[in-house]
Each structure stands twice: as structure tokens, then as C-alpha cells.
Structure 1
Amino acid sequence: MSQEKLLKPSNGYFMLFVFLILFFGSIAGIILTKNSWWIAAFVIAIFILPGFILVNPNESRVLLLFGDYKGTVKQNGLFWVNPLFSKNKISLRARNFDSERLKVNDKLGNPVMISTILVWRVQDTYKASFDVDIFENFVVVQTDAAVRKLASMYPYDNFADEGLEEEITLRSSVNEVSDALEKELEERLDIAGIEVLEARIGYLAYANEIASAMLKRQQATAIVAARHKIVEGAVSMVEMALNELSKKEIVDLDGESRAAMVSNLMVVLCGDKDASPIVNAGTLNH
């Protein structure tokens, strides 16, 4: 036997009626008739009692007879099985697992702190019971291993100086990273009969030893990108201004005057502080 087998046990209510008849009938018979045969009925009633099982919604019972797997009961209700069966209870409910924060290296070798939130449930009770030792511990260990592998596959973030603008990153590509994590966990947990319902990154940050430096790098990258946009806009505005002045013949500027005007406009447009105007009472050159 290498796979789960569903077992349909006997009706528990009928056997409960038989048990009550035998149990109370034997007690009454022993007291009233003093006949030793009623003791046999009492023993049979006691033998019947361990065979009752109650299966609640999203629960199961794995049945074994002296180490031999007989089947799994997933149907809800009161049932009766062979009293010699061992009945292992396995929950089929969805469970949450929030892993510990692990320090791992991303694709670029930067140490990051990462954890995952996993939603899982038992799908195959045979695999969960017999193919692994303790399936709950198996889920914990394999989740940590999957997270470590995932973190090494992608960089934490991309930077323009490294040419990673098109790559998937742990910080920005949430859906892609989650899909990759779910696929990795499904492959690892299938041996234990575990179904992965959802897997998401729960915590992600640079490790403390580089967090300050990486924050400054991110800020510098943002400043450079902002300055680049400002310069692009300023050049466009200066070009438009010169073209409009020339087109409408408002003022005739020679090369030196144009250079001075361009310089002044670039300072005004690209400066991080408001410019202070100066009124020139002389000519354009003085």
C-alpha cells in the first residue's frame, strides 16, 4: 500500500443501539437472574465500545490493524470500526505557518532578513502518516529551506548602476516571487501529502549590518534619478525659450549672450533653492 485508501465504516448509531442493549441488558440480567451467561453479554458490550469513532468536519481517522494500513475515514459522523484498529486523528483544516526571520544572502550576496507566511493543509493522509516522520516538523524545515533557496535566486532590489532594471526582485516583484515560492514548496511538500494553498513573503529587509548603507544608496539613486529628470526638463525648457525668442524676434542674441542666458536659465531651473533675481540697470553685457 503506497497511497491513501478511503474507508466507509459501519453506521455508528446502529452499533450504539446494540451496545446500549447489551450493556444495560447484561447488567439487569446479572442483577435479576444471577445467570453467569449475562457476563458474556457484558464483555461483548465492553469489547464493542472502543470501536466507536466520531469524525468532525475537516477531520480524518487513519486506521491500522497491528501496523497494517486499512484505510482512512474522511466522512463526517459517528461510525463503528474494528475495536482492534488504532485510530490516528489527522486534521484536514487549513493551517497558517509564519516562519522565523532568516538571515540569508540574496542573488547579489547582500545579507537580508526574510520570512514567509504559508497556508497549507493535509491532502493525502497516508503520505502524511507514513512517508515522513512528523509532517508538521517537515513543513517547518522544508519551508525554511525553500525560503533560503528563493532568496538566493533574486536580488533584494535593482539599481541602475548594476543593469538590473528588468530583473525580478524580492522587494518589487511580489506576485512573481510568491508564485516561485509556492511552486518550490509544492515540490518539497508533495512527499508528505501536503497541499500548499498560499505562500507569501511576510517580512523582508536588509540585515542590520548593511541596512544603513543600503538606505543611503537607495536615497542616492533616487536623487540621481530625480536630477536626471530635472536636467532633461530644464534643457527642453531652455531650448523652447531660445526658439521662441528667435522665432518671434523679441531680442537678437549673439553667441556670448545665448551662452549667458542658457547658463542663467539652467541655474534657475536646476537649482534646489529659489533663485534671487537681480535687476540689471545697464546693458545686457554689464
Structure 2
Amino acid sequence: MNLHERTAWHVNGFLALGVALALFAWSAYGIYNKQIGSALPLGLFVLMLPGFFTVQPNEARVLVFLGRYTGSVRQEGFHFANPLALKKPVSLKVHNFTSEKLKVNDAMGNPIEIAAVVVWRVVDSAKALFAVENYKEFVAIQSETALRTLASRYPYDAPEGERSLRENPEEIAEELKREVQFRLEVAGVEVLEARLTHLAYAPEIAQAMLRRQQAKAVVAARRLIVEGAVGMVKEALEMLKSEGVVELDEERKAAMVNNLLVALVSENQAQPVLNAGTLYA
């Protein structure tokens, strides 16, 4: 059965209370005067009592009569509805679910630790109560399942230009939200936000992966230094030629390029060597 929330029949509780008190007064008057039939208004008064209920802010009451869903009441205040119906409360407040640190394999098979927070609320009280066994447990289980699924789609780290869990937090959060919302639609739950709260390599490979990241950073830095040094050497040779400072043959150009690159790329400060000539002409 495809249930959807609908508004149940109800009236203002204070109006119904006035009717109930009138029935009670009528019954009391009849009993006092020993009138026949005074038990009828008393019975109606007693029957009305279970029909009174209150709805707190951000709460809904789900009415079930003889095993059938008859509607929900969201309007806060004092109400009266079918006195024979069960009136089950459902919270409409915003909830947070924070997952445990889950150990999963990313898209490259590397074990990682990941956790997330999911902000949610009930938007369909009928689905929340009747479509799933326990909607709060359902949210927890499906959120963790969606997180595991998402973590297996992307690598922890990836080359530049490719999406990864570490480099694209906003895109990953949006996709996680969509994944969780798809799974919780059946329970009448709306996902307001979903975001990673923890992301790290598993302890057994953390040190190895840290060394790999450091090596990649060193290689990238070296590449940048070399590219800059080559550009500077090229500019120096072009300036010497254009200014007519000195004419260099190919051998001297090669030696100059070698010296400049060594000086620019070396990690240690270059030590100049002065050529003072020779003792013999």
C-alpha cells in the first residue's frame, strides 16, 4: 500500500471540551433529579475524553483507527479527533546523524577511514511510521551504506584534474546528499545536508601513503624549479646576444648553460670559482 500523509479530521479542542462539559453537566443534573436516560450523556462524555490531544511545535500526530491510517495533524495546539483512534507522535524536528569511522576501500583498493554527518527531518509522517520498521534506525543504516558506496567510487587522492575524496569535498558532499536522499525517500525523510567529517588513510598504510605524497610534492617542486631555470637561461642567452655583450660559440654556450642550471637548480648555494689566469703565457 502506497501511503502518503494527509490531514485527519479534527476540531478545536476547546470547542469540543465545551461540548463535553455540557454533556457532563446534563448527566449530573439528570442524576441529581433522578431522570431516566441521564446515563447517555455521561457515556458520551466518557467516550469523548480519549479524543483530546495536544500537538507540540514541530510535531505531528498520526491517527490510526481499527488498523487503518486516517490522517495526520500537524497544527500545533489543543485538538479533538476520533476518540477511538490511536494518536502516535512523530517528531518533525531537524536531526543529526553522525556515522562511526568506517573502514572501506577506495576506488583504487586502498583502505581508508571515512565518516560523515547527515542532517535530516521527517516530511511525511505516514511513510515514517508505516513504510519502514524504525525510521531512525533506517536513517542510520542507509546513511552508512550510502557512505560506503560513495567511498568505493572515488580514490582518496588522484592526479590533478580528476575527482577524489580529498580534493573535491564540496562535490563529494553533494553527491553523498543525493545518494542518501535516494535511499531515504521511501521513509518520508528529507536530507538537508550531508558532509564528510573524517577522511584518512587506514593506519596500516598511512605512513607509506604519506611518504608517497611527500615524494609527489618533491617531484612537482623540482619540475617547477627546472622549468623556471630553463626559462631564465634562455632569457640570459638571448639578452647576451641582443646586447652584443659577448659572442659565444656552441661549446661555450653549452658550458654556460650547464653552469647556470647547476647554480639555479642546486639545493645548496653555488660557490663561485674565480679564474685568475696561469703562471705561464
Give the gaps of 5 or more residues in structure 1: 160-164
- How has the CA–CA distance of structure 1 residues 21 and 276 changed in structure 2, closer, same or farther, with 3 Å as cutoff? farther
CA deviation after TM superposition for structure 1 residue 24, in Å: 6.8
* 8 Å CA contact retained: 2:55, 2:75: yes
Report the AA paired with residue 263 of structure 1. N
CA deviation after TM superposition for structure 1 residue 4, in Å: 2.1
Q: TM-score, normalised by structure 1?
A: 0.88
Report the AA paired with residue 258 of structure 1. K
For the residues of structure 1 that align with 2:9 and 2:41, how far apart are their CA atoms? 27
For the residues of structure 1 that align with 2:275 and 2:26, how far apart are their CA atoms? 120
The 5 Å alignment of 1:1-286 reads: 2=2, 3-23=4-24, 41-159=41-159, 165-282=160-277
CA deviation after TM superposition for structure 1 residue 253, in Å: 2.5
Report the AA paired with residue 220 of structure 1. A
Instruction: Give the aligned length.
Output: 277
CA deviation after TM superposition for structure 1 residue 200, in Å: 1.3
Report the AA paired with residue 107 of structure 2. K
CA deviation after TM superposition for structure 1 residue 40, in Å: 5.7
For the residues of structure 2 that align with 1:24 and 1:217, how far apart are their CA atoms? 86
Query: Which range is displaced more, 251-260 or 34-43?
Result: 34-43
Report the AA paired with residue 245 of structure 2. I
% identical equivalent positions: 49
For the residues of structure 1 that align with 2:258 and 2:206, how far apart are their CA atoms? 39
CA deviation after TM superposition for structure 1 residue 111, in Å: 0.8
* 8 Å CA contact retained: 2:30, 2:36: no
1:86-144 Cα distance to aligned partner (Å, 9 max, x none)? 11100112211111110111100011111111111111112111111001101111111
Report the AA paired with residue 224 of structure 1. V
Q: Secondary structure at the match of 1:71?
A: strand
For the residues of structure 1 that align with 2:266 and 2:231, how far apart are their CA atoms? 16
Q: TM-score, normalised by structure 2?
A: 0.90
- How has the CA–CA distance of structure 1 residues 276 and 8 changed in structure 2, closer, same or farther, with 3 Å as cutoff? farther
Give the gaps of 5 or more residues in structure 2: none
Superposition RMSD in Å: 2.2
For the residues of structure 1 that align with 2:28 and 2:262, how far apart are their CA atoms? 106
